[in-house]
Amino acid sequence: MSAADGPLVVGIDSSTQSTKALVVDVATGAVVASGQAPHTVTTGAGRESDPEEWYGALREALAQCGDAARRASAVSVGGQQHGLVTLDERGRPVRPALLWNDVRSAPQARRLVDELGGPKVWAERFGSVPAASFTVSKWAWLAEHEPEAVRATAAVRLPHDYLTGRLTGTGTTDRGDASGTGWWAASTEAYDADILARVGLDPALLPRVVGPGEVAGTVRDTDGDLPFSKGTLVAAGTGDNAAAALGLGLRPGTPVLSLGTSGTVYAVSRNRPADPSGTVAGFADARGDWLPLACTLNCTLAVDRIAALLGLDREAVEQGGSATVLPYLDGERTPDLPDASGLLTGLRHDTTGGQLLQAAYDGAVHALLVALDRVLEGDAESADPAAPLLLIGGGARGTAWQETVRRLSGRGVQVPEARELVALGAAAQAAGLLTGEDPAAVARRWDTARGPVLDPVARDDETVQRISAVLADAAPLLGRR
């Protein structure tokens, strides 16, 4: 940790499994204190988490930051996207939040796509075609399966909205996170009355959308619950991917692969995306541009699970062999196969455990790279095919992940030294309130993307083509419900 030269800000990352807090020096970008506390997530078909537990984790993470958090002048929250938080009249959760990786709402997503006129209509109007992960699908599922919970709901929030509201006492969101709901239309940059009526959601239950650079509010009197002074500025916050884009100081066309519980690929674009295939979600970013993004459900946790089943360390990969693994252990979002399970084919007598593990890495990375091609298609004038891929997230420092991305992409890979890019992006957003700067420019001033560049290697076309062929042949089986 470093001593501070200027005012301090706090950036928060409330992810699927934990909350992290960083206290950052606005002048230098130095992290002067940090803290982290875990969350509990249910297993099985549903993925749920108690929002009160997020707040408890936030309190614990901030307590670990000590006096530095008390001296902060502004705070911002980056949070997991899409989650449905339902609050009663007292502001308490009606039920546990439905998380982004809860695929029970896949039938509702399919129905909504059909009811509004098909994928092309959705892409042109909303920027995205809703999948099971989208909040609108989850609300439709809740209305169908738990109508009593819907009747008890007085406010609907996203995870980052919920924590921001605990700080300010008011209901706000931002365009980046709102664009992942399925009820905020990219074409108008506003809530869509038609779709809200179709799913029976009163727009009065939704938060106000705060514009880029605006103050969401100030910290209310928390009775000593939090270390902040009353009146501390609170930024709009945003979803985790938009926050990471801020944390990297992304310029248009620079490709990012994020390797975490989910895998994501994205790039900032000045063009509003509209992909009728549904592969690319046309999200807004937190600044005023766009963040075309594709997400897979199965990334580091799925590969780690396969390593555990094989009794191997996650780095114990071996090259060669004919096995293909599609590690769709939680269903899959990209490709859109919410009812899929994992698939293994090409097994031989001489296949080794290390080759099977490498095949799992290959299957996970293949899905991301196919999606990245679609992301970059929409902004070809900004995309540089020779530029290294920015590799971030929990898996980015794993040698097996790095080498798999290089081998299957044929591109160089840059691994930023900064580890907590969502929290750093939130901190940059908070800093922008104090300095009047573009948050992405703040992050570039902090040099957050600095890190080693691994040179490109020859693309392994044979493996890429084999996985593509297996996926095409197995699609009917993987899509069976």
Reading the block at residue 70, the tokens are 């008390």
| Strand ranges in 142-280 using DSSP code E only, listed in sequence order | 155-157, 172-174, 184-185, 190-191, 208-210, 215-218, 233-235, 238-239, 256-259, 263-266
Give the integer Cα–Cα distance in Å for 318 and 436. Answer: 51
- Does residue 438 carry a catalytic annotation? no
Read off the tokens for 312: 């191997």
Cα–Cα distances in angstroms (integers) from residue 464 to residues 388, 410, 467, 471, in the given order: 19, 11, 5, 11
Which of the following is catalytic: 161, 240, 275, 362? 240
DSSP state of 426: H
What DSSP designation does 23 have? Answer: E
Cβ distance 13 to 19 under 8 Å? yes
Q: By the 8 A CB rule, do 27 and 442 touch?
A: no
| The two three-digit tokens of residue 226, written as one number | 């939090």
DSSP for 288-345 reads SSEEEEEEES-SHHHHHHHHHHHT--TT------S-EEE--BTBBTTTTBTT---EEE
DSSP code per residue over 61-81: HHHHHTHHHHTEEEEEEEE-S
The CA-atom distances, in angstroms, between 322 and each of 18, 312, 314, 356, 481 are 38, 19, 20, 9, 28
Active site residues: 240
